[in-house]
Structure 1
């Protein structure tokens, strides 16, 4: 799994102590997680040097408008996702996911907001979770009310693509897989079994789209109820997550950031730890759980 983890230095004692004290002194801690938390499970992130999708390949995630308006883009998306999903779904929670779940059970975490779509927090046992960008685990028709789980949808796609196979060139962070573009022409785009539309989409916020207002409001409500916020494994480059740090700063709530590299919110942080998430949480568990 280390092939997805960026180069990093060992956890400094002074940084560990500062973040440990930050967490232990919180009455209601909100945690915001990002792709850096799942790299230790073998799911790459987008932006890390050397291992992130943007650094390894020219491939970029599909844009919302492209998916919604271009039937060929949908064919390309589902062909790649069909090949990539078995690899994606096989990933398991790592140490950080598991310890965050334990912290919830011991009432050290009030709520968790994740920018990830991999459901690894729930697999680890976390229940108080908001999936800010949705989940790959649900597929919904954009024309009618048809909804299904992703594993059932995989079997559904297989019925019309029994001979379709492809070698994976690159795995991406959202169940996508880079494959030979010529093979995509052989893939049969799935059609909604209820209305026949090909506008079937995972319940994920694609790039170029927005998180629904109700979910944003819910996250703001959790933020306003907390007394501290911890960011774990996010560069905060996307505004959908960064806005919560801006609000925490505006309302004078202490902020801690745990991430291997620099983040957009470092200048707002009261505590910054430059280390692998798993390394910090492994030690934290030993001393405090």
Structure 2
């Protein structure tokens, strides 16, 4: 029987427009921890969801920033680089395919890899914005002081990071659905599909009868929404897909 990898490789080759949903499993080969896997950081201390919330930021922004920088290891962020999974998606673009990436990851590595259409569903660690005046600052400014402030004249407000905190609205869902609607093929990589509303996107694709494939080390609650399901190491599977080209 022809393997799921071979079948998926054929569909990737045939597709002109591909939507890709990615999660933490895509970035682990770059040295970035998987926060939600069985051994992920979030499971070490469930209170981190409380601390990484809009409510806690508003209540105690100074302590929020101390915990935020520790949890997301901001000092190490610039040491991370795209890995061969990110580069595989860029190579699809270089072959003339239209690729839209909808990512849960906040590390910015898809953009760093060179992909042109990246929807950062949960925001990005690389910037922070002043809630008072709307001025956006790069990571370099965020790291200049323990609690970063706006330096615009007459402002001085504490900055808010440009990631989606618990309690924040998701503003990219409609854009993500539009990318899926236009695609010939949906690929889902390295995500457990446990977080809502992100995990509604494969359902949306399924309802539109989009051909779809899932690559994840562990089973997900939504495996039955996919035409091709591969439970294996993502990096090794990507290498197998490339060999099938």
TM-score under structure 1 length normalisation: 0.76
Return the offset for 1:63: 1.3
Distance 1:227 1:78, change over 3 A: closer
Q: Which residues of structure 1 form unaligned runs of 5+?
A: 1-12, 158-187
Q: State yes or no: 1:127 paired with 2:111.
A: no
Q: Which residues of structure 2 form unaligned runs of 5+?
A: none
SS at structure 2 position matched to 1:263? coil
Distance 1:244 1:144, change over 3 A: same
Q: State yes or no: 1:87 paired with 2:76.
A: yes
Q: Which residue of 2 aligns with 1:146?
A: 135
Q: Do 2:104 and 2:122's aligned partners in 1 also have CA atoms closer than 8 Å? A: yes
Q: Which residue of 2 aligns with 1:166?
A: none
What is the aligned residue count?
Answer: 241
- Written as runs of structure 1 = structure 2, the 5 A alignment for 1:139-218 is 139-154=128-143, 156-157=144-145, 189-194=147-152, 195-198=155-158, 200-212=159-171, 215-218=172-175
SS at structure 2 position matched to 1:110? strand
Return the offset for 1:153: 2.4
Return the offset for 1:54: 3.3
Match of 1:243 among 176, 200, 207: 200
Residues 99-120 of structure 1: CA deviation (Å, up to 9, x unaligned): 1111112133431111111011
Return the offset for 1:72: 4.5
SS at structure 2 position matched to 1:207? coil
Return the offset for 1:59: 5.2
Residues 167-190 of structure 1: CA deviation (Å, up to 9, x unaligned): xxxxxxxxxxxxxxxxxxxxx533
Match of 2:8 among 14, 19, 22: 19
Q: Which residue of 2 aligns with 1:256?
A: 213
Q: Which residue of 1 aligns with 2:29?
A: 40
RMSD in angstroms over aligned alpha carbons?
A: 2.2
Q: For the residues of structure 2 that align with 1:217 and 1:105, how far apart are their CA atoms?
A: 27
TM-score under structure 2 length normalisation: 0.89
Q: For the residues of structure 2 that align with 1:111 and 1:147, how far apart are their CA atoms?
A: 25
Q: Do 1:140 and 1:147's aligned partners in 2 also have CA atoms closer than 8 Å? A: yes
Q: Do 2:141 and 2:148's aligned partners in 1 also have CA atoms closer than 8 Å? A: no
Distance 1:281 1:75, change over 3 A: closer
Residues 186-215 of structure 1: CA deviation (Å, up to 9, x unaligned): xx53332121222x1111111222211xx3
Residues 135-193 of structure 1: CA deviation (Å, up to 9, x unaligned): 11111011112211112321x31xxxxxxxxxxxxxxxxxxxxxxxxxxxxxx533321
Distance 1:63 1:227, change over 3 A: same
Q: For the residues of structure 1 that align with 2:68 and 2:188, how far apart are their CA atoms?
A: 32
